[in-house]
Structure 1
Amino acid sequence: MRNLRSVGASSERTGVPARRRLLVKKFGGSSVADVERIRRVAQISLESQRAGDDVVVVVSAMSGETDRLLSLAHKLAPLPDCRELDVMIATGEQVSVALTAMAIHAAGGHARSVLGHQVPVLTDSSFTKARVLWVEEGPLREALGHGQIPVVAGFQGVDASQNITTLGRGGSDTSAVALAAALGADVCEIYTDVDGVYTADPRVCPTGRKLRSIAYEDMIELASLGAKVLQVRSVEIAMKYDVSVHVRSSFTDEEGTWIVNRERALEGKVLTGLACARGQARVELVGVEQQPELVMALASLLAELNVSVDMLCHARGVQADTTTNIAFTIPEVDLLRARQRLDPLVASLKTGELRISEGLARVSLVGIGIRSDPSIPARLYRALTQEGIVVSGLVVTELRISCLVDEAVSDKAVCILHEAFGLGQTDVVGGPRLVARSGTAA
């Protein structure tokens, strides 16, 4: 672990040649949305290289391109084959890497576009939601050794059978952090259309406050609960391999938010922020016969479908000795696939019914010690119900409290809770600036 300021120390002072920093820079779809923005990406990348850094660039598909491709697929079939979906939607990044490499060449630099299977980024075979298993660093090291900027296609990889795979929405974040971990990069910079991580989405809640730093654990909770700044698996990898991540805007030079170990985070608040996941469906198996194997069968079914489940509640039914109720939430986009398997499962039980509630949003408050503070659920309920917002379902853990509300009032709920819990206030005024992968302050 190295202080980034000391890395650049000149040989004149130390007698040792300065080591070049290695930076991984990821640019999202909004950062490569058109030719002018791609030129900006090339400029940012070349400025770092000309300042003495080695640079690896990771890019997403141009803004809106993945949605366009998915729309074409769904016009042909409600549930397109997942392997073929990956073959198709991976093409968005292929366009972006080529254009970005061209822009770097046009600006006087040297670049090489690299697709996921050319690195390679090896994944499992969970098409559309693949997980990274291993990254080969050789081709990237070779390009860096020739003074080139490797421009890597995010979001995509390849499985052991040479099938193209994709990593799920936001997967370019995971690509970038995985490459940073494999290469031992000093920093992984995530360039996006916001200038950092906020206590609440500032486009929804105007009083949302930008955090200068946030702990891995808190960022994992926020990302998994609906904050769209980073894909959750990217933060998991960063935490596992101690990769310092800097979330910043591609449109300004301002410092953004550092994601680091908890002891390095500068913010003093116990409560970190709010996240909102819209487009949620509540699935209830009501009055089904109580069987020890039922929950296991249900969990296995959802795991096989690779469906993310939250707010699972298992309770006895009215006839306490013979029936049970099971409820959970899943994203609405997964509902059609899930129902194809859930309907036969419930029918085979010969008791109970399947109830589906759509148009919901999960609003979550993230922080430390939430479970041990009973005033937090009480304050949450009071703040929302006083404004006429109906709360259905509640899950409390050590790091978060989540509730379901109608999607139509989800923005209002976020603003109410942000105010009720004082998240717009700051405990840290001034203070050191975080500049190092090692977390030391300057």
Structure 2
Amino acid sequence: MDRLLRSSGVRLTAMAAGLFAACTLALCILIYLGLRDDMEDQLRAQIRNETSQLIGDYNDDGLEELRHDISERLERHPGNRLRYTLTSPGGISIFDRIDLPERGGWSRLKQEGASDLIVLTTPLDDGYRLGIGADTRIVGEAARALRHAMLVVVIPALLLSLVAGLLVSRRFLARVENMKSTAEAVGRKSLSARMPVSPSGDEFDSLAGTINQMLDRIEALVRDVRYVSASIAHDLRTPLGHLRQRLERLVDTADTPAQRDELAETTALLDDVLATFAALLKIAELESRSTPVATETIDLSEIAGRVVSTFAAVAEAENKSISLVSAEPVYVVGDAQLITQMLVNLVENALRHNQAGVHVEVSVSRDEGAAQLLVRDDGVGIPEGELENAIKPFHRLDRSRTTTGSGLGLSLAASIARHHGAELHLTKLEPGLEVRCLFPRPA
């Protein structure tokens, strides 16, 4: 819900709703002012006509006839009617008690506890004044009725617009989330993922189609590069294998120990080249997903125990140490041979690139239900800025290439992890390095 409220779609919906409310309020004010002015104009017209009739009688028959006419009107309409007052030169008012202004013309008089009066004052002969007014109560009642009607209509309309906007935003966010999930999958090197395209053919579908075409092109280019790399490695491995066999035969027929040592060193170098080609072919095979994921249930603790036992003697001979921390069996589904190869690479990497005295710890455990395999050492570690590059093929911290290795160990381990849906994380320690392989939780 928090993500929904922070989304641009919801903000646009809120802005649209606010604009709608402001426009509706402005429209209501205009309608109210227009209705009020129109009703007051009708009252003024009624007062003006009544004044014209009474002044006509006054001009014909005098003041007494004016009084008589006003009395008849009051008797005929005792309830809802106009207000009449006739004020003498001495300030005495008869009929309705209205304090007329000294000056003739229109005026608006305040009444305590009641609505205003619109009054037209007309001067007569000998200091008399005739005032005819109308109560604006009917205007206020109409305005209240209009406000009530506006509230009844506008508030539900505003709420409906908000609900509709939220529904549209939720649908908008769902489309964005699908595209985001696909982009994240591509970012995790799953180039086969594609943006979902709906039958509606809207702008999202057009964008998704364009991105899918781009991904098709990228996937084809990457596939071609992998094919070329794998083809080179495969084609060179066979003649190099034959070359190694010849070197072995030459070692047996060498005349002097110096020749045998030179041939043995050449054979060792050739073995490194063959190992590099083998790693390249395995990475290409895993990344192309041509190898199906095995579905056997394996115990990570058992694999870790075998690998630690294998490297214990090698570590001791180099004045290094290795230990295993595993409290109980931890099962995952995968390929035992590949996972063993991954752990061998990680342990070998930790022992090879650290000086004497380093301690390597292999541990197997569960983290919130997910199996994890850790290889931790207290050696020189990897600089923070190099952690992301460390798993790239052929990347080596030793720029001079004086240490052994091809720079494919961590890269192959990362490929094996991805092949099993796991994630390989490198963390700098003080001192040392931690490599954590986190397997997916069981379904």
Query: Higher relative contact order by CA 8 Å / sep ≥ 6: 1 or 2?
Result: 1
Please report the TM-score for the alignment, with normalisation by the length of structure 1.
Answer: 0.20
> Whose strand proportion is higher, 1 or 2?
1
> Whose helix proportion is higher, 1 or 2?
2
Please report the TM-score for the alignment, with normalisation by the length of structure 2.
Answer: 0.20
